[in-house]
Structure 1
Amino acid sequence: MRPQQVLLLGLMLLVPVLAFLFLKSFGTNRYALPFYLPERVDSTLVAGKWQRDTVFHQLGSFQLREGAGGREVSEQELRAQGLYVLSTLPPNCPPQCQRQTAQLVRVQEKFRQEARVRLASVLISPDSVTAAAGYAEQAGAIAGKWFFLTGNESAVTRLLEQELRLPSFAAAAGAYPLVVQLVDRDGYVRGRYDGTSERDMNRLITEIDVLLYIYDHP
Structure 2
Amino acid sequence: MRPKQTLLLGLMLLVPVLAFLFLKTFGTNRYALPTYLPDRVDSTQVGGKWQRDTVFHRIVWPAVQSQSGRPVSSQDFAKGLYVVNFFYTTCAGACPQVSSLLQRVQEKFRHEPRVRLTSVTLDPAHDTPAILEKYAEQYGAISGKWLFLTGDKTAVYRLLTDEFRLPAPQGVAPGLQHSQQLFLVDRAGQVRGRYDGSSPKEIERLITEIGVMLYSYDLTDEPRR
Question: Distance between the aligned counterparts of 1:168 and 1:211, measured in 2?
Answer: 30
Structure 2 residue 73 is the aligned partner of structure 1 residue 74: yes
Question: Which residue of the partner structure matches residue 223 of structure 2?
Answer: none
Structure 1: runs of 5+ lacking an equivalent: 1-5
Runs of 4+ in structure 1 off by over 6 angstroms are: 11-14
Counterpart code for 2:210 = I
- Give the 5 Å matches for 1:24-63: 24-28=21-25, 29-30=27-28, 31-63=31-63
Q: Cα distance 1:22–1:48, how it changes in 2: closer, same or farther (>3 A)? A: farther
Question: Distance between the aligned counterparts of 1:26 and 1:77, measured in 2?
Answer: 34
CA-based RMSD: 2.5
Counterpart code for 1:75 = S
Question: Distance between the aligned counterparts of 1:145 and 1:124, measured in 2?
Answer: 20
Question: Which residue of the partner structure matches residue 108 of structure 2?
Answer: 110
Question: Distance between the aligned counterparts of 2:58 and 2:209, measured in 1?
Answer: 19
Counterpart code for 2:108 = K
Q: Cα distance 1:151–1:27, how it changes in 2: closer, same or farther (>3 A)? A: same
Counterpart code for 1:55 = V
Give the total of aligned pairs. 211
Secondary structure (helix, strand or coil) at the match of 2:209 reads helix
Counterpart code for 1:135 = Y
Secondary structure (helix, strand or coil) at the match of 2:123 reads coil
Q: CA deviation at 1:15?
A: 5.5
The sequence identity of aligned pairs, in percent, is 49
The answer as to whether partners of 2:33 and 2:209 remain within 8 angstroms in 1 is yes
Question: Which residue of the partner structure matches residue 98 of structure 1?
Answer: 96
Structure 2: runs of 5+ lacking an equivalent: 221-225
TM-score (norm 2): 0.83
- Give the 5 Å matches for 1:1-218: 19=15, 23-28=20-25, 29-30=27-28, 31-68=31-68, 70-80=69-79, 82-90=80-88, 92-126=90-124, 127-168=127-168, 170=170, 172=172, 174-218=176-220
Question: Distance between the aligned counterparts of 2:77 and 2:193, measured in 1?
Answer: 16
The answer as to whether partners of 2:87 and 2:178 remain within 8 angstroms in 1 is no
Q: CA deviation at 1:91?
A: 5.0
Q: CA deviation at 1:25?
A: 4.2
The answer as to whether partners of 1:180 and 1:195 remain within 8 angstroms in 2 is yes
Secondary structure (helix, strand or coil) at the match of 2:103 reads helix
